[in-house]
Amino acid sequence: YLNPAVDNHLPSSHNTIQQWTLRMYGTEKGRIQQKLQSSLSKIHFTVDLWTSPNSLAILGVIGHYISESGVLQHSILALKELDGAHSGEIQAVSIMEVYTIMGLLRKLDT
């Protein structure tokens, strides 16, 4: 009653929080892609695979690069659940999917 403007910030349906989260994810993904594309350096990656307490295989990919302003930056590029065995082939396919989705193939340090 004291602040009717708060109604603009409250969820209006059962899927409002999901919509807000997906919208923010898309915005941040685009921002990170732009930062990676404009980096002064090639992009170096840290990749880690672990099993969560509920037995899910999770693959994490982090990109390391020099930003336009000359500062070393780190960005989380993916946390992916892997299906099946943790073989090198499955990991490689998943990592290449991340590189492709993020538009990084030309920025790879090979």
List, for residues 27-41, the tens digit of each pLDDT value. 999 999 999 999 999
Closest CA to 81 of 58, 102, 64: 58
Per-residue pLDDT tens digits for 5-29:
887 777 778 888 899 899 999 999 9
Angle (CA) 73 75 80, round 5°: 160
Question: Whole-model pTM?
Answer: 0.77
Report the amino acid identity of residue 100: T
Q: 57-84 burial, b for 16+ CB within 10 Å, e for fewer?
A: bebebebbbeeeeeeebebebbebebee
